Chain A
Amino acid sequence: MTATPLLRVSNLSVHFDRSARPAVDDVSFDVAAGECLAIVGESGSGKSVTARSLLGLAPARAHVSFSELSLAGESLPAPGARRWRTIRGASIGLVLQDALVSLDPLRPVGREIDDVLRLHTTLSQRERQARVLELLDAVGIPDPALRARQRSGELSGGLRQRALIAAGIAAGPALIIADEPTTALDVTVQARVLDLLSSLRNNGTAMILITHDLAVVSRVADRVAVMSEGRIVETGETKGLLRAPATVPTQQLLAAIPVDVTRGIPLTLPSDAEAVTVPDTSASAGAAATATAAASSLPALELRGVSRRYPTPHGAAIQALDNVSLTLASGTTLGLVGQSGSGKTTIARIALGLETADSGEVLLAGHEWGSLNARERRPLRPTLGAIYQDALSSFDPRLSVERILTDALSAGASANHQSLTTPDELLDAVGLPRAVKNRRPLLLSGGQRQRVAIARALAPGPQTILCDEPVSSLDVSTQARVLNLLDELQRHLHLSYLFISHDLGVIRHMSDRVAVINEGRIVETGPTDEIFIAPQHPYTRSLIAALPRVRG
């Protein structure tokens, strides 16, 4: 590290008008030229506010204070100063998370990048146009001349993220701040964007990488600063810090990542272990044992040669599913993994009987299911539950938790178990205090909402639960607790899970067997360890190779 760091931040604090606790609390760090510092933390830890303060762009109503904020030895101006305009984009570039609206959806991508050049260089319009194409090419966007004329809505997520990076580096800033640059992307795309960011750093650009994902950190960052509740709790070299985390928040972040924690072992959470009180009667334990014996004979859910096509507005049709066969053995978990658009959702909807396959069979616990009409399906529905990615929108917004559960209990009950028959018992089973029943889901945290969703799914006493990306929108530590809960419920209630996720780590942790889906086809099925240790299909191999790992 050189004597004068590129960026020096000393005692940065940010307060919001109405909040007693500061959003950023006395934060100090340095970034050397060409170095990549990762700031990690869960949502609400203050990492994004920190990043924005470095550009003088803290949200309105925020009060920013610091003892030093300097770039290459020169003090950065006060918030709101005109001089910021010569620094933003020119000396410090910002790359936001990919969202349709991180680039102006009404303007061509090329114009957005051109803006940076127009503001910070003296190039002529023609030179700028040529430079825009060079930049798009440099970030790996094929056919730059075409893409420059398109608007952000016409690009895929990966291309949009690249275009955002191109705009960030256009004026050759010494420092780039990347705020969750790969969060919304599929793993393989994510890997390529991370490669791009690494290559920038190799060219001498310093970088601050804001993320919640330690796996991303381990791939790119030289040093890591862990933030929790507005404070930096730990800083260190990436390798050392990930190998031997010294503080509880870091340990939690690390431990909660399910990547390499295999089946059956609960994800360890150093603090607050939660007691889950499922009525563990000997009857249900006995039933579990006998059912396991019978498991091999009758699958909980089976898809045989299911195909589904959707017509598109252009007249052509999309083959969403092509001859898909899946078998979920009773009492086990089948993980279904694939990237967005691979057909996971269609499988979920067909399995739930919300849609009908064009061809093929669907069997639920041995009963014909796929070919039934809505009326014939109803008596079987209590045996099949579901939890969804967005728990909140799956609740009627007008109902309280208690009414949601009463409503679910009144839907009908399957024959096999009657142990959870009141809202209170259901809340106990998912580890929620009974007091939440008077609240509306809107006022609950993400983890609590997902627990309510699980309680609702348990209400009719199902044998099988379809979990559709159930933890994808949760913070890692919450995610770990929900996964542990699902695991425990499975053991106590002898449930079968069809577990759908794009997250290989979660899938590995939860599944007995894994099915990999790509472009509507199941490319590989097998026991979890075989798939992860010795993948056969090239697509599975590419997925696993792209998977960022924290350890090893």
Chain B
Amino acid sequence: MTVSTDAPTAASVSTPATRLRSLGWIARRVGGGVFVLWAVATVIFFALRLIPGDPVDAILGGPGSQASAEAVAQIRTDYGLDQPLIVQYFLAMGKLAVADFGTSYALKVAVAPYVLTQLWSTLVLTLASLVVAWFGALALTLATSGRGRVARALGSGFELLAAAVPHFWLASLLIILLSNTLHWLPPISVPGPLGLVLPVLTLALPLTGFLGQVMRESLTNAYEQPFVLSARARGESEWGVRLRHVLRHAALPGISLSGWAFGSLLSGAVVVETIFARPGLGRTLLSAVTIRDIPVVTAVALLSALTFIIVTIATDVVDRIVDPRVTEVAAR
């Protein structure tokens, strides 16, 4: 037999060059993330200055407050509002760069440490929900795939409805059912794992619907691929095909969508934290929005964006490790 001269393709070996390329890719992503944070901060800063209304009013507790002229002037100096706009901007950016978000208008405390304590609570809630939704969707898809029409229809019907349910309504239903009628769980979030059950369920269920739809489709696609025929022709059993081959392909979009899913959970957390009276970024943001506590709004927005960006980058890294094809497409 002749010696094969089939040339190895470009992406064949993990050389220092390819590793360097991955590092460069991560560096670009991080740089992009920093840019986005700066842009968010800048847009919020200028947008707030463009709208009518004096921030001093918000600090003093609304336009109706009857503060003396001296008090107003004092506040103006304290918050640096007497400086020219561009100076204020650079001062604000300089402070943001060292994570100094200033003082809350309403709470009169330093924003940074306050918001950080809220972040932890939101992270616990959202990450727990992500894990629950992820495995829920995977289990649902695997259980109802290849089982005949009825199971499939039930599965996709559940996914459709779950994906259409608003968080706030689902929360109310769960409270009516599990707290008020069955008395299994507390209606508001108490400390400890028991208090986490209802909020996590509320956040995770709609996401389960979304992820389930996506996973079901890629599972169906995977079943039609030649490698499944190859595997069967090797004598692999149905469950062997499912667990060794098809499962990975079904799970892939679940991984790639995790970044997006985390974002939707952050968004849902606003509602869920409010309903279950649970501390967190979402509830902080909502109350800050209602009273226009601008430093808090800015801090929460930036912190959420930062968290979201980190999770997105992490997801993409995992995605590239699990599925080598992603890199090829990205390098195109």
Q: Of the 9-residue stretches A155-163, A301-309, A323-331, which lies at the interface with chain B?
A: A155-163
The answer, among B2, B234, B249, for a CB contact under 8 Å with A195, is B2
Are B331 and A85 interface neighbours, CB within 8 A?
Answer: no
- Interface contact B12-A150, CB-CB below 8 Å: yes
Interface string of B230-273 (1 = CB under 8 A from A): 11111111001000110011001000000000000000000000
Name A75-90 residues within 8 Å CB distance of B.
84-90
A115-B234, A119-B234, A154-B11 known; A105+B227 contact, CB < 8 A: yes
- In contact, B226 and A153 (Cβ under 8 angstroms): no
User: Does A62 sit at the interface, judged by CB under 8 A?
Assistant: no
- Identify which of B284-292, B309-317, B318-326 touches chain A: B318-326
B225 lies within 8 A of chain A by Cβ: yes
**Does chain B have a CB within 8 A of A37?**
no
User: Is B6 part of the contact surface with A, judged by Cβ < 8 Å?
Assistant: yes
Query: How many angstroms between the C-alpha atoms of A115 and B63 in the bound complex?
Result: 74
A363 within 8 A of B: no
When distances are taken between beta carbons in the complex, the residues of chain A under 8 Å from B233 are 55, 57, 88-89, 92-94
Residues from chain A with a CB closer than 8 A to the CB of B47 are: none
Within 8 A of B (CB), among A42-86: 52, 55, 57, 84-86
Please pick, from A89, A105, A157, A313, the residue contacting B235 in the complex, using a CB distance under 8 A: A89
Q: A55-B233, A140-B3 known; A107 and B245 CB under 8 Å?
A: yes
Knowing A153-B325, A154-B12, say if A140 contacts B235 (CB, 8 Å): no
Q: Within residues 88 to 115 of chain A, which ones have a CB less than 8 A from any CB in chain B?
A: 88-90, 92-94, 96-97, 99, 101-107, 112, 115
Interface residue? B21 (CB, 8 A): yes
* Chain B residues with a Cβ closer than 8 Å to the other chain, count: 39
A153 touches B6 (CB 8 A): no
CB of B330, distance to nearest CB on chain A (Å): 9
* Chain A residues within 8 Å of B9, by CB: 154-156
Q: Cβ of A474 < 8 Å from any Cβ of B?
A: no
A192 within 8 A of B: yes
- Contact assessment for A102 and B227 in the assembled complex, using a CB-CB cutoff below 8 Å: yes
**Interface residue from B4, B232, B252, B331 paired with A141 (Cβ < 8 Å):** B4
The answer to whether B82 has its CB under 8 Å from any CB of chain A is no
Q: Is A502 an interface residue (CB 8 A)?
A: no
**B229 on interface, CB distance cutoff 8 Å:** yes
Q: Closest Cβ of chain A: how far from B322's Cβ, in Å?
A: 7
Which B residues lie within 8 Å of A199 (CB)?
Answer: 1
Residues of chain A within 8 A of B324, CB atoms compared: 105, 151, 153-154
A167 at interface by CB-CB < 8 Å: yes
Minimal beta-carbon separation of B31 from chain A (angstroms): 18
Instruction: Mark A122-161 against chain B: 1 for CB-CB distance below 8 A, else 0.
Output: 0000000000000000001110001000110111111100
Across-interface contacts of A87 in B (CB, < 8 A): 235
| Bound-state Cα–Cα, A90 to B226, Å | 19
Check if B86 is an interface residue, CB within 8 A of chain A: no
**Least CB separation from A87: chain B residue:** B235
Asked if A489 CB lies within 8 Å of chain B CBs, one says no
**Interchain CA distance A94-B236 in the complex, whole Å:** 13
B306 to chain A, nearest CB (A): 29
Report chain B residues within 8 Å CB of A164.
Answer: 230
Q: How far in angstroms is the closest Cβ of chain A from B249?
A: 7
B13, B231, B233, B236 — most chain A CB neighbours (10 Å): B233
A320 to chain B, nearest CB (A): 14
Name the A residues within 8 Å of B234 (CB-CB): 88-89, 94, 115-116, 119, 167
CB of A269 to closest CB in B, whole Å? 33
Closest B residue to A185 by beta carbon equals B6
B10 lies within 8 A of A312 (CB): yes
Give A155 to B7 CA distance when docked, in angstroms. Answer: 9
Q: Is the CB of B4 within 8 A of A116?
A: no
A313 to B18, CA, bound (A): 10
Tell me, in angstroms, the Cα distance from A233 to B269 when the chains sit together: 69
Judged by a CB distance under 8 angstroms, whether B54 is at the interface is no
Q: CB-nearest residue of chain A relative to B12?
A: A154
Residues of A close to B240: CB separation below 8 A: 119
Q: Is A314 an interface residue, CB under 8 A from the partner?
A: yes
B8 at the interface (CB under 8 A from A): yes
**Complex CA distance for A167 and B249, rounded to whole angstroms:** 21
Asked if A101 contacts B4 (CB within 8 A), the reply is no
Contacts of B227 in A (CB 8 A): 101-105
- Which chain A residues (211-235) contact chain B, with CB distance < 8 Å? none
Chain B residues contacting A120 (CB-CB under 8 Å) are 235
Contact call A104/B231, Cβ cutoff below 8 A: yes
**Chain B positions within 8 Å of A85 at CB level:** 235-237
Chain B hits for A96, CB < 8 A: 226, 229-230
Partner of B3, one of A86, A107, A142: A142
- Is the pair A88, B4 in contact by a Cβ cutoff of 8 Å? no
B232 to chain A, nearest CB (A): 6
Q: Does B217 contact A (CB under 8 A)?
A: no
Q: Please state if B232 and A88 are interface contacts (CB–CB under 8 Å).
A: yes
Tell me whether A196 is interfacial, beta carbon within 8 Å: yes
Give 28 A-B contacts (CB < 8 Å), ordered by A residue.
A52-B229, A55-B233, A89-B234, A89-B235, A90-B235, A96-B226, A101-B226, A102-B226, A102-B230, A103-B227, A106-B252, A119-B235, A142-B4, A151-B324, A153-B11, A153-B328, A154-B11, A154-B324, A156-B9, A158-B6, A159-B4, A167-B234, A192-B1, A192-B2, A196-B1, A312-B10, A313-B332, A314-B21
Excluding A94-B234, A116-B235, 12 further A-B contacts by CB distance (< 8 Å) are A88-B235, A89-B236, A101-B225, A103-B227, A105-B227, A105-B325, A106-B323, A107-B248, A119-B236, A142-B4, A159-B6, A195-B2
Residues of B at the A interface (CB closer than 8 Å) are 1-4, 6-13, 17, 21, 225-227, 229-237, 240, 244-245, 248-249, 252, 322-325, 328, 331-332
